[in-house]
Amino acid sequence: MGSQQGTAPAADDRRWLWALGLGLAALLAARIAALPLNGTDLFFDEAQYWAWSLAPDFGYYSKPPLIAWLIHGATTVCGHGEACVRLPSPIIHTLTALVIFLIGRRLYGTATGVVSALTFATLPGVSLSAGIISTDVPLLFFWALALYALIVLRETTGWGPALILGLALGGGLNAKYAMIWFVLCLGIYLAVTPRERVLLKDPRLWVAIAIGVALIMPNVLWNQAHKFATFSHTADNANWQGSLLNPGKALEFFGAQFGVFGPILFASLLVVTWRAWRQGVPPPDRLLLSFALPVLVIITMQAFISRAHANWAAVSYVSATVLVVATLIRNIEWAWLRRSMILHVLLLLALVAGTIFAGRFALPGGTDPFSRTLGWKEIADATRKELVAAREAGRPFAAVITDDRSITAELLYYMRDEPTPVLAWRDGPAPRDHFELTRPYEAGTPGPALLVSIGKASPTLIARFQQSRALEARKLPAGAGRPRTVIFTALEGLKERN
């Protein structure tokens, strides 16, 4: 009898681990298989990151460097197609789910770890993110790794967890500056958990922080050499101008979290938070809540003051996933977990089907849900035709000028084999994006140039040239919705500034 009691938990663990391995492997295989079937163009942020990856550096205008390094590695191995640019995303999300399994198992047991990992891997926000390349992808991985390392650090005396924590902090900061919220959450956790403040006397914690600081220092030095461009852009994103009372924006952000985390899970998180406020929570729950709630509250306040994108609180859902799953399992509410999982899988399938058939359908009212990621190839093709026609006429354009970051990024990607350089118009003393910083159109650039604009060509820009000639304006499709109007203008003779 004793032998059976000793082996039963191990057998149960093996079944749970098989479920984890098969579930994550199936999800990863399906997501990688879906990448080449995706009918969307690269979103302009994705195209911008790809352009950065051509020149690996320690920093870029609007983001730290890790996203460019990841794309550089993927395209070196795989090629420069959209699927290859996006390939790191499903792989890294799978690794993040594995780390979340380790967190759940460490705090609550194997079953909670497995269900937490599979739940995270199928979150609506993760399913959307797994089909694109963004800075949130590596950020979530390093946030989860840092949290796991911190949990182990609290329970052991070795230096291994400190090293992992330091590497995770540095990696996360090089992915996105939002990793700094981890330190804030740790401070809040220590403030509300007096018995854990012994960590402040643990040299391993400070060594870990020092490692993180050391790893972000090359980016700090890059910023110093470029007038702190990334830090300034991050501050500008907060947009604390105009009215500082925007309850509608706060409600919009808060409501979007039901979509990012899933309606059942986010409602459960709210219930857990309410109970914690009224009744208190067990120590592991307190830890996880400390790394979920503060960021959600701060970003909601940011939305109230100005604005916030739905993904800005994404790091909250690493610990929130484990917390909600553990609570539902503890309360024997498996039915809600099953409903949530079924809903998320259905949303995942709908999203995959939507991207495969992107551009072939519209929502009621004629709106194409993928319009922002469609039509860029057509703009690049139309631009290339203008360049070819000019060359054949014996009056080739020496450069393409763009007056918007999105057009610059998309033309750089979709005209990557075109010899005519794509240059950004810089209207002002300071650059507004990385292209204005690194590839501006300047006096002395050979002319003539082809200006590509969406909607309307800038009269101020055109007035800076001695000669201008309006070429054909084209309405180009952007999926099944409203087309884009693209204006082509021939320019020559840049005037000196007064």
Q: pLDDT of 98-137, one tens digit each? A: 999 999 999 999 999 999 999 999 999 999 999 999 999 9
299 and 388 part of one domain: no
Does 37 share its domain with 162? yes
**Residue 307 within a domain:** yes
Instruction: Indicate whether 253 and 162 sit together in one domain.
Output: yes
Statement to judge: residues 138 and 94 lie in one domain: yes
- Say yes or no: 293 and 346 in one domain: yes
pLDDT of 238? 56
pLDDT of residue 226: 84
Q: For residue 290, what are the contacts with CB-CB under 8 A and spacing of at least 6? A: 185, 186, 188, 189, 192, 193, 319
Q: What is the token pair recorded at 167?
A: 């590497």
Is residue 236 domain-shared with residue 309, that is, in the same domain? yes
| 431 and 291 in a common domain | no
Residues 77 and 148 in one domain: yes
Whether residues 390 and 425 fall in one domain: yes
Which strand ranges, in their side-by-side order, compose the sheet holding 449-454? 422-424, 399-402, 449-454, 484-494, 465-476
* Whether residue 321 is found in the same domain as residue 408: no
Distance separating alpha carbons of residues 61 and 435, to the nearest angstrom: 8
Cβ contacts of 339 within 8 Å, gap of 6 or more: 264
Final residue in a domain of this structure, among 301, 325, 356: 356
Q: Which amino acid is at 369?
A: P
Average of pLDDT values for 265-270? 95
Contact between 118 and 315 (Cβ < 8 Å)? no
Residue 449 in this model has a pLDDT that exceeds 70? yes
Task: Choose the weakest-confidence range: 157-161, 189-193, 290-294, 307-311.
Answer: 307-311
Q: What is the pLDDT of residues 167-207, one digit of tens each?
A: 999 999 999 999 999 999 999 999 999 999 999 999 999 99
Residue 263 belongs to some domain of the structure: yes
Q: Are 350 and 377 in a shared domain?
A: no
Structural domain containing residue 434: 373-494
**Distance (Å) of CA 288 to CA 101, 116, 272, 364:** 14, 13, 11, 41
> What does the mean pLDDT of the chain come to?
92
Q: How confident is the model at residue 8 (pLDDT cuts 50, 70, 90)?
A: low
Helical segments of 35-159, H only: 44-53, 66-78, 82-86, 88-107, 110-121, 124-129, 136-155
**What is residue 493's DSSP assignment?**
E
Give the chain's domain count.
2
Q: What is the mean pLDDT of residues 136-140?
A: 98
Q: Which letter does DSSP use for residue 227 in this model?
A: T
Residue 288: the pLDDT is: 97
39: nearest Cα among 374, 348, 459: 374
Residues 429, 469: contact at Cβ < 8 Å? no
**What is the C-alpha to C-alpha distance for residues 49 and 68, in angstroms, rounded to an integer?**
6
Query: The whole model's pTM is what?
Result: 0.94
> Is 178 exposed, middle or buried (CB count within 10 Å of its CB: 0-12, 13-18, 19+)?
buried
The residue whose two tokens read 């163009």 is 41
Q: Where are the alpha helices (DSSP H) in 226-315?
A: 229-238, 247-261, 263-279, 283-290, 293-305
Q: How is residue 36 annotated by DSSP?
A: G
Would you say residue 2 has pLDDT above 80?
Answer: no
124 Cβ neighbours under 8 A, 6+ residues apart = 259, 260, 261, 262, 344, 347, 348
Please tell me whether residues 60 and 90 are part of one structural domain.
yes
